[in-house]
Amino acid sequence: MYNYAFKENDEHVLNEAADVNIKFDKRNMLVNILLTNKNILVFYDTERDSALKTGGMQVMPEFEVLFKVDLGNMDYTINGEDTILNVENTFVTMYNFNIKDFIEKDD
């Protein structure tokens, strides 16, 4: 479940990518990326590393917004197969992910 106020923000999802490998804040992680009519939303599963999973329990994913980027104010470069996104002067590397193709796929 994505914990985000889509209706309140008058947003709807146009495209989704799951399990994208990124480097954010000196840490590698798998995230889901949603394209809405207003933003790029990057979600992290807070239950991904839950200790309950090791006990054989089924733990439902809970996705929280890691960061979002306004579509009208995006700063990124494509480097080979990777995207380097500038998020408030923090560089996020999205491995094997072309954000331009991701956005244009909806057109």
pLDDT at residue 32, as a whole number: 95
Hey, which CATH number is domain 2-104, 3.40.50.300, 2.30.29.30, 3.40.120.10, 3.30.43.10? Answer: 2.30.29.30
The residues facing 13 across adjacent strands are: 36
8-31 per-position pLDDT tens digit: 999 999 999 999 999 998 899 999
34-87 per-position pLDDT tens digit: 999 999 999 998 776 554 445 566 555 578 999 999 999 999 999 999 999 999
Buried b (16+ CB within 10 A) or exposed e, 58-93: eeeeebeebbbbeeeeeebeeeeebbebebeeeebe
In this prediction the pTM is: 0.85
pLDDT at residue 1, as a whole number: 79
Q: Which two tokens stand for residue 4?
A: 């985000």
Is beta strand 2-3 parallel, antiparallel or unpaired with respect to 63-70? parallel
CA–CA separation, 23 and 58 (whole Å): 27
pLDDT at residue 51, as a whole number: 47
